[in-house]
Structure 1
Amino acid sequence: MVDTGYWRESEDASPPGTEEMLRREFTRRFGDSGWTIVRGMYEQSLVSDPLQREVAIANLDCDLYVSSVQVLDHLLGNRLLPDGAVLLLDDYNCNRANPRFGMRRAMRECFARTDGFYDYSEFLSYGWHGRAFFVHRLGDSPNPDAEVGA
């Protein structure tokens, strides 16, 4: 890896007041329960405040390969995505959409580590950068190809 100096710590941090604005908006739209804002980098926040319930829609704005792997491994490894869940990958087409980098690489590698328990299929594109996928939970769902009564 080459350090080009492009990424700097806290450079892309949310502007001051963002968390309070989100709290107000979420409370207005969803009430004051059933959601949580977790601050911090994925490597710490996924451990300190781990998600333990299934997620129907996950919006990943991870920017980089490493953070994408951290989040996907957490969701897939803990089986937090039900059949039919939607993954929104905001940075899927970054890195010139090269499958050897970023979210494209992370998706391929993380789903492969599930040994067939999970699969995914393309749903839709949004903007030049984003792609949405349906998640298929094959490991514990009925197989219509299995012989009936065998």
Structure 2
Amino acid sequence: MIAHRLPPLGPDDFSREDNRALLVELQAQLPAAADQTAWDRLAGLPEVLEERGRQIVEQVQHRPSLTDEKLLKDLGDSLLRLRERNLVEQVQQVRFLFLETQEGDSPDEARTLGELMTAYTAQKGHIHKLLSTRSMTGMLAQRKPTAAN
């Protein structure tokens, strides 16, 4: 994701508190986790987070195995979709606040919220473009103009 100028996955990417806490705990274990299995890493977590982690691992284990290349692509796409979903929610929240401030007498706050809404919308567009490019349809669409030249 660094190649796309996106920050790494962080707790703010999640809306559920248990997912945020699970990510923080797992990221804290990263340096020592290289030689551990998923189950070993989960065993070191607080009980409530261990249970949530076990649920997630069990879900993943029932899916077909993926190549490393496909796994990395899917993880990147999932992160982008997660960020896009969060930006949609943030734009809606800011839009609501923006409309409220327009009805009031706070032009500076309305301008600031308008700028924030524009920035979030631009980020959402950037992520949408990245997802499109990463999809098969997006890759084929990019190759057609090149092949025509």
Report the TM-score when normalising by structure 1: 0.29
Q: Structure 1 or 2: larger strand share?
A: 1
Larger radius of gyration: 2
TM-score w.r.t. structure 2 length?
0.30
Q: Which has the higher helix share?
A: 2
